[in-house]
Amino acid sequence: MTGSLVLKGGRVLDAGGGRDGDVAISGGRIVAIGPDLSGDRVLDAGGCVVAPGLVDLHAHLRQPGHEEAETIETGSRAAALGGFTAVVAMPNTEPAIDGAGVVREVQELGRTALCDVFPAGAITLGRAGHRLAPMAEMAELGVRMFTDDGAGVQDNGLMRRAMEYAAGLPRPVVLAQHCEDGALCGGGHMHEGEWSSRLGIAGQPAEAEELMVMRDIALARLTGARTHFQHLSTAGSLSMVRAARGGGLAVTAEATTHHFTLTHAACASYDPVYKVNPPLRTDADVAAVRQGLAEGAIDAIATDHAPHTQEAKEQPFDEAPPGMLGLETALALALSELDLPIEGVLALLSWQPAAIAGVEDDHGGPVAEGRPANLCVVDPDHAWTVDPARSASRSRNSPYAGRRLRGRVRHTVLRGEPVVVDGEAQR
């Protein structure tokens, strides 16, 4: 079999299992899988896993409005280097992605990106929490996820109407919630507990997250809407998600890499690189997140990639914006830190988030003949040291500088085109 591109000598791994074989690609699709394939161009995959491209449910690409921190182009390059072929771009831009015009703008900017960029739409106009955004017109343009990420929808009645509205749309969508009770966490900058008391930094209690999780589970039961919980961080939240699923509710959940690798003790340095929202939690919460990922209570690992300029992050802890980089380190952190086989990590980073985002027709699906060639080639044993100065992002706010990790993306293929080759972006 001759194809324009062959990934040679790897182990193919998807939701159906693993098998050895070369992967031949032509016309943007997989045309053959088997031994001794040849093509016009060959990329070495020896010792590597060839898998469906990763899918990030939660990335802040900052454009429009904050291009000094990130653009769709630079963010997508970071994503491709991390093995992602698709990212869901959060709507807390300026202006917010709360109508057809901004959706079209982001989609147009994404046409030349190094991964597919799917804009999430805001639940409320301007993410202000007062009036519903026109979700139907955004859904007509292909938006499949709606969230006011950065702020939870505080009004119970408004959230109920949003769920009823979403459940009645002709195209299936999911409402994703940033779970944070504003009255409880207002003025807090880290987890409320032992370390916030020691450091004299105002804290956010775990209950601020858990109350909104409880509310949205109740509303999901009332309305039948598909509900997704973003960046869950507490043991109590995960316990409620397990119970909701046990009761047959259509709820899903994600966790970030920093919520299973870092605790609130990191804030002892007063370094704002460790300021995130929701905040880093206790050792017990981190253990619960790891357990949730291992046992399936959490469906996906999301990056919550949140770039900020150096000037913004160098402010005092209580004035600096929350957020840290994640796209280039997510896979390696999961492979290095979680007690999971590589197929378990890929499920959390590829085919399971693809199903939640509604992009499984193009991303995260089987590596099989006729399928779109959106793939990543991962060397699971490659050891490397995180150096934020070499990041493709415009920003440098990574908390993992100097950390030694295992596992790295060797190649990334988007619609049949190699966009990363031997760890280097191609454009």
From the CB of residue 197, how many other CB atoms can be counted at a distance below 10 Å? 10
In which band, very low, low, confident or very high, does the pLDDT at 3 lie, cut at 50, 70 and 90?
A: low
Q: What is the pLDDT of residues 286-296, one digit of tens each?
A: 999 999 999 99
* Cis peptide upstream of residue 52 (ω within 30 degrees of 0): no
Percentage above 90 pLDDT, the chain: 98
3-state secondary structure string, 142-175? CCCEECCCCCCCCCHHHHHHHHHHHHCCCCCCEE
- Phi and psi (nearest 5°) for 140? -60, -25
Is 8 in a helix, a strand, or coil?
strand
Do the strands 203-204 and 227-229 form a parallel or antiparallel pair, or are they unpaired? unpaired
Is residue 256 domain-resident? yes
CA 32 to chain CA centroid, Å, is 30
pLDDT range class, residue 88, cuts 50, 70, 90: very high
CA dist 32 to 4, 28, 196, 369, Å?
A: 11, 12, 56, 5
Tokens of 70: 């990130």
The predicted structure's pLDDT at residue 74: 98
Q: For the whole prediction, is pTM greater than 0.85?
A: yes
Do 289 and 376 belong to one domain? no
User: Pseudo-torsion of CA 336, 341, 344, 348, nearest 10°?
Assistant: 10
Strand-strand pairing, 22-26 and 29-34: antiparallel
Pair 225, 148 in one domain: yes
**What's the domain range around 46?**
2-50+369-425
Three state DSSP letters for 317-354: CCCCCCCECCCCCHHHHHHHHCCCCHHHHHHHHHHHHH
Instruction: Mark whether 71 and 192 lie in a shared domain.
Output: yes
CATH number at residue 302: 3.20.20.140
Assess whether 414 and 288 both reside in one domain: no
Count other Cβ atoms within 10 Å, centred on residue 156: 13
Domain count, the chain: 2
| Both structure tokens of 328 | 């280039």
Q: Which two tokens stand for residue 44?
A: 């070495």
User: Are both 172 and 224 inside the same structural domain?
Assistant: yes
Quickly tell me which residue has 């300021």 as its tokens: 275
The whole-number pLDDT of residue 93 equals 98
Residue 128 lies in a domain: yes
Q: Cβ distance 349 to 54 under 8 Å?
A: yes
313 & 374 share domain:
no
Q: Per-residue pLDDT tens for 13-58?
A: 999 999 999 999 999 999 999 999 999 999 999 999 999 999 999 9
Instruction: Confirm whether 304 is a catalytic residue.
Output: yes
In this structure, the answer to whether residues 89 and 18 fall within a common structural domain is no
Active-site annotation holder among 304, 318, 339, 422: 304
Q: Which tokens go with 175?
A: 């409402």
Q: What is the pLDDT of residue 427?
A: 87
Question: What average pLDDT does the segment 417-426 reach?
Answer: 97
Q: Are residues 92 and 23 in the same domain?
A: no
**pLDDT, tens digit (0-9, with 9 covering 90-100), for 92-116:** 999 999 999 999 999 999 999 999 9
Q: What is the pLDDT of residues 339-382, one digit of tens each?
A: 999 999 999 999 999 999 999 999 999 999 999 999 999 999 99
Q: Identify whether residues 137 and 186 lie together within a single domain.
A: yes
Percent of the chain with pLDDT over 70: 99
Is 363 a domain residue? no
Q: Which pairing describes strands 145-146 and 174-177: parallel, antiparallel, or unpaired?
A: parallel
Tell me which residue of 374, 356, 201, 370 sits closest to 279, measured CA to CA.
201
pLDDT tens digits along 374-403: 999 999 999 999 999 999 999 999 999 999
pLDDT on residue 186: 85
Whether the per-residue pLDDT at 1 is higher than 50: the answer is no
| 399 and 330 fall within a common domain | no
Residues 244, 389, single domain; the answer is no
In order of 75, 301, 360, 409, the CA distances from 219 in angstroms are 34, 24, 27, 40
Residue 337 pLDDT? 98
> Is residue 362 a part of any domain in this protein?
no
